Structures are given as C-alpha cells and as structure tokens.
Structure 1
Amino acid sequence: MSLLRPSISVVYLARAAEGIEAIERFRQSYTNHPAGIPHDLVVCLKGDDESEIARAKEVLTPIATRFVAQSDEGFDIHAYLRTAQTVDTEWISCLNTFSVINKPLWLERLYRAASRPGVGLVGATASYESRHSTIGAWIWYLGKVLDGDVLQSSTHDQFADIIRALENGYRIPGVARVGRRLKLWALFEEPYRRRHLRLWRQRMSVHPDYEGAPMFPAFPNPHVRSNGFLVRTKFLTSRFPELGLSKMDCLKFESGLEGLSASIVKDGASLLLVGEKGEYPVDDWPQSKTFRSGDQEDLLIRDNQTDIFSSLPPINRELLRYFTWGDAAADPEQYEIPPLRCFKNIESVLLQTPAANQGALS
C-alpha cells in the first residue's frame, strides 16, 4: 500500500460549551504527537455563543486546515455527520472535544490498518459492552436490593456508583423522568427511596433496550467506539445521510444492530482496533491494552471516558472492565451478576437483525 499521498480528513469537534481547556489540551497534544501522514484537519466549531466560538477558533487556527461552523443542536455524532457532508477526501477520522492524542504516528497507524484488504472500519478504542446486558445487570442488582437478598459486600461496593447516580437524578434515554423523581421525591425517607428504585427497575425492565427485540446485541457486542475512528467518507455519508436527534439515536449509531460497526460487518468487511503495539482483530481486543484493557498504556488517543476509567477506585474500575470485556478480561467468579461470556468469532454477532436478537442477561 502507498502512504505517500493519502486523502484523509481528520474532523475535530470543538464544542465551545465544553470549555476552552479541553480544546487547548487537544491542540497541545496534536502539536506534540505528529500524525505521521498528510491530512486535512477540519475543525467543527459547535456552539451558539459567539465569544466562545471566537476563542476556540483563535486557539485552533495555528493547526486547522479549515473550519466548519455549526449550532449546538444535537450531539457529537450529528456534528460528525454534518461535517462529513462537507468533506471530499476518501477517508474521514472523527475526534470529540475531549480527545487527547497520546502517541506519535497515530493517524499513520490507523490508516495502515484501514487500508488492509477486507477492513472497513478501524478505531483507537473499541468495546464488547452491550447496553442491553449492562442494563440487565443494573436491573438484577436493584432487584436483589429491593427483595432484601443477601449479597456480598463487594457487590454493593461495585454498584455503589450506580445507586449514587440514581439518587442524584441519573438520566437515561426514555426513563429520565424516573431519575429526576429519585432526586426530587423524599430521597432520604426509606419508603420513598425504595418505591422509586422499584419504579426505575420496572421502567428499565420494559425499556426497548432490554425487553423483546432490543436495539443492541446482548453481550458480547463488538463495536468501534465513536471517537478516534477512521472509515471511508463515502460509506459514512451514504449509509448515514441523517440521524435522529436523540441521544438514543447516537447510541444506536455507535453500538446498535444497525449502527456503524454492524453496517460494516454486514457489508462483508472487518473491524480492527489499533494501539501503539499493533492491530487487533475483534477476538483479540481485550488484550490490546487500550480501552479499559490493562492500564490503557497503548492508547493512541485518550478521551474523557478513558481518563475517568483510570481515575476510578479499583473495585469500580474492574466492574467497568468486566462490562466491557466480560470473561475475556476477568474471572466471572469475582462477580455475583450473571456471567458475561465471550466466544470465538465474536464479530459474527453483528450479522444479526434486530428481530433475531432475543438474548438477555441470563
């Protein structure tokens, strides 16, 4: 393959509302870590405050090829897709506001992997996590708490962050109202607290993520995360000419049965995860030392989620690792939740249709 004159646009989403510090961190990391390959840096300036946009543009002007201005409507994926419509390069890579380039030659590594025969999508981070199965684990835990079942103290410690989030009005698409009730209704009076934990559990149990024909495969659900990915521009713009404006639509784009990764596999191409030490087919992702793997030391690109993972107490960090990689990264005997088991040829699960995906956490 030739690396002499690739046609690549790197789209950096500079969302002004996230603060200038995140944008400055990206600029510094981009300057300090050469991409290793020619490209255009297309900056999407997203926001409605003119002074914030002007400041972001000032910070990024020294490194940007061009700017695209957008209102603050929608989420990151919407900004990527709108910006992609303005791109005429063969390839496009998308980075969110919190991206920090972590290794030199990061783009060259991604491009080499993406250019290999049969490969359709590559990313600096990826996951097996199933929204369907993770929600199932939450429901399982809340059910045990509400029923008064005896659990190991370590299990309560593992789920402490989830309970804390619920009690502070945690919002999840489709059931946000329940989270608000938990925060606003007599939270410290135990009968009310239990009543609304029960309500949250009931609502989640019939949520379309979980019951019937869920929009997300049960674990393992291999997908390239929607930050730091590289794909052919034509595929992205033709397959996803528009997207619904909800957060759920973005989640389905990233890891749903009709999302980006699933669409690539259904077209007969493969997914690759790329780290500093190599390229990893789907079955080898848990050993990549990138997203929630090892100490994440081989990440080409960091973001807010990788940084949060690194900062968590070990017991919470290991639960997230288990949700992400299942028994490929942790012994199920350490957890009381129903086991998350991997198998060979994991990529094949993306060939399912939504109606065929009847799995549940069991």
Structure 2
Amino acid sequence: MSKPFSIISYAIREADGIDKLIDFLDSLVKFEVSTRTDVVIALKESSEKFHKEVQQLVHQTQIPQIKIIFVPSGGYDIGTHHFIAINSNCEVLILMTASSKPNIKNWDALLLKKFEESQVGIVGSMYSKESIKTSYFEALDLILKSKLHIELKEKDKITAEIRGIKLKIRKISISEKILSKNLLTIARNLVIYAKRDTEPFNYVNFFPEFPNPHLRTTGIAIRRKLLIAIIDDIPTVKSDAFRYESGYQSITRRALSLGWRVLVLSADQNYFDFGDKDIKSTFRVPRVDSIVTDHESRSFHKLNLRMQKVLSKITHG
C-alpha cells in the first residue's frame, strides 16, 4: 500500500473558544500538512456566528484541504471522531482535540509512515501509564501531604463519596496556577464519576490500576475501519468516554486483542511496539515533549522541573 490518504479529525465546540482553533491552524501553517492529508474541523454545539468566525479563519490560512462540518451534539470527542469515520472513505484518521496541535515538521507523515505495513492498526504519539482509578486518589494524597493552603467559595464546595471514601475537595491556592487549575478539574471529575449512577462509580470494573499503559486518544493515528469496529457504543457520560482511552476496553487494548500492531512514536521520532521494554513515556515526562501536544502536556511543561518530577512519578511511569 502506498502512503495512505488520511483525515485529521479535529473536534471543537464553541465553548472551547476560538483561540484554540487559532492555535491549531497556526500550527498547521507552521509545521505543514501532507498533501495526502485532509483536515476536517468538526463543529459541535456551535452557533452560526461561531461557524462564520471559523470560516473566516480557515480562509485566511489558505490550506486548501480543510473542510468544516457540523456534527451531532453529545458523544464527547470520541463520538465526533466516530461520526467522521463512518461518513468518510479515508484509510486513516488522525484524532485531535480542541487543544491539540502538532509540535514538529512532518508530524502527520511520521504518524502515517508505518501504515504501509498491513498489520499496523494504530500509531500514537502520547504514551501514558496513567490510570484514572489510581492517579486521582494519588493526586489527592499529594494535596494533603503538601499541606497547601485551601480556599474556596461555599458554592463551589465539592463533596463526593467514592469507594467508601468521603472526599471534601477544594480549589487550592498555590503559586503554580496551572497545577491549581488541574487539581480543581480532578475534583470535578471525581464528582462526575460519583454521580454517574445511584451507586458510586465502580473503578474496579472499568479502569486498571497504575501502571496502566495505553495511548491517549489525541495525537493518535488509527485505521478508520478499526475505529468503527472498536467504538460500538457512543459514550453518554464522561466516564464512558475515558474508558475508550484508558479503561479495560480501551482503544489500545481492543486493537491489540484484534491482532493489530500498535506502535508508539516517541518524541525522538523512534517507533516502538506497544509493550516494548525500552519504550519511553512521551506524556508528562520532564524536559521531553511529544510530537503532538495538548493542554495537559503543555500545562505540565509550564511547571517547574521539581514539580514535573513529582507529578511524573505519581501518575506516570
């Protein structure tokens, strides 16, 4: 097979903000896109006004292969990618979230190169050992051990009970504002899981313990037909969306179980078979950035090196 025709599936909502799209388009201009790659900007939960703003920005970039489409609401990013997969005829999809952007030249060509081999099903640029089940609790443990000052308005107080543990989590006031923001996100996510059903969300059934090696579903190239085969249930709650990334039935695990090769493209442009003992983590590793970045990886690299080392040991290999 010659180099495959591919589509960059970029999902964005109006609530994500136009600045993220500007950053993404600027990065496409800076780092270029292969002539064999189309770009689909999928608008979800967006107004006509936002649509017109997007059209103007796309026109200014002068990248001819960009298309703009509206997609159904719901389903989170993975549902958007599935919608594009079933409504296109490309060989490979490159999945990107609103905050994703390439980090080097020839980035899409590097992701697509190995698809010339018939058994390769996925090539990902963000390898992680994180587990939702353990990393949130370990992050909370870090909060308590750090003895950081806690302040929060009463209306934002978050209380949840998960796995029999009562959690009272508040936004933390520290010099690293990025970390503070991430900790509040952790707290909110815990509540999402707790409210998923009448019973507390069961981490044991859906998420492995740390270490939990998997490819994050941003900056990942996957055969279109394989994605369609794997996504058999469009998620309706956030926890279900996370399951496709890092749960027992994740895209990584499903592809491997179906007999496909899954490759990791490291920051130094080497390819590793998934599970290779020499594989290097490419997400939240001090002083190492990945070929595709997103808000989480960029936030991590804005922290000082000491904090990077602490967080990389707590939730990542």
Tell me if both proteins adopt one fold, taking TM over 0.5 as the criterion: yes
Counterpart check, 1:320 vs 2:311: yes
Q: CA RMSD in A?
A: 3.5
2:48 counterpart residue number: 50
CA displacement at 1:26 relative to structure 2: 0.7
Residue 18 of structure 2 aligns with an amino acid whose one-letter code is I
TM normalised by structure 2 equals 0.77
Q: Does the 8 Å CA contact 1:48/1:72 hold for their aligned counterparts?
A: no
| 1:156 aligns to 2:123 (yes or no) | no
Of the candidates 276, 292, 296, which is equivalent to residue 301 of structure 1?
A: 292
Other structure's SS at 1:268 match? coil
In the alignment, residue 213 of structure 2 is paired with which amino acid? P
Equivalent of 1:223 in 214, 221, 226: 214
**Whole-Å Cα distance in 2 between the matches of residues 257 and 309 of structure 1?**
26
- The residue that corresponds to 1:2 in the other structure is 2
Partner residue of 1:14 out of 4, 8, 12: 12
Structure 2 gap ranges (5+): 172-186
Once the two structures are TM-superposed, the CA of residue 23 in structure 1 deviates from its matched residue by 0.6
Which protein has the larger Cα radius of gyration, Structure 1 or Structure 2?
1
Gaps of 5+ in 1: 146-154, 185-196, 327-362
CA distance in 1 between counterparts of 2:159 and 2:89 reads 38
- Percent identity among equivalent residues? 22
Please give the alpha-carbon distance, in whole angstroms, between the structure 1 residues aligned to 2:263 and 2:95. Answer: 16
Correspondence 1:75-154 to 2 at 5 A: 75-116=76-117, 118-138=119-139
Deviates further, 67-76 or 164-173: 164-173
- 1: distance between equivalents of 2:151 and 2:69? 39
Equivalent residue for 2:238, pick from 242, 247, 251: 247
Give the distance between the partners of 2:43 and 2:92, measured in 1 at CA. Answer: 20
Asked whether the 8 Å contact 1:15–1:45 carries over to 2, the reply is yes
* Gap change, CA 1:307 and 1:132, over 3 Å in 2: same
Q: Paired residue for 2:271?
A: 279
Tell me the secondary structure at the aligned position of residue 296 of structure 2. helix
Structure 1 residue 250, shift from structure 2 partner: 0.6
What is the CA distance between 1:74 and its match in structure 2?
4.0
Question: In structure 2, do the counterparts of structure 1 residues 53 and 108 end up closer, same or farther at CA, with 3 Å as the change threshold?
Answer: same
With over 3 angstroms needed to count, the CA separation of the structure-2 counterparts of 1:69 and 1:292, relative to structure 1, is same
CA contact (8 A) 1:132 1:209 kept: no
Q: Counterpart of 2:128 in structure 1: which amino acid? A: S
- What is the SS of the residue equivalent to 1:214? helix
SS of equivalent residue, structure 1 residue 295: coil
Deviation of 1:72 after TM superposition, in Å, equals 4.5
Larger strand proportion, structure 1 or 2?
2
TM (normalized to structure 1)? 0.68
Distance in 2 separating the partners of 1:171 and 1:264: 37
Deviations 1:265-311 (A, max 9, x none): 111223222134311233458864731124124x2111101111011
* 1:259, distance to aligned residue in structure 2 (A): 1.8
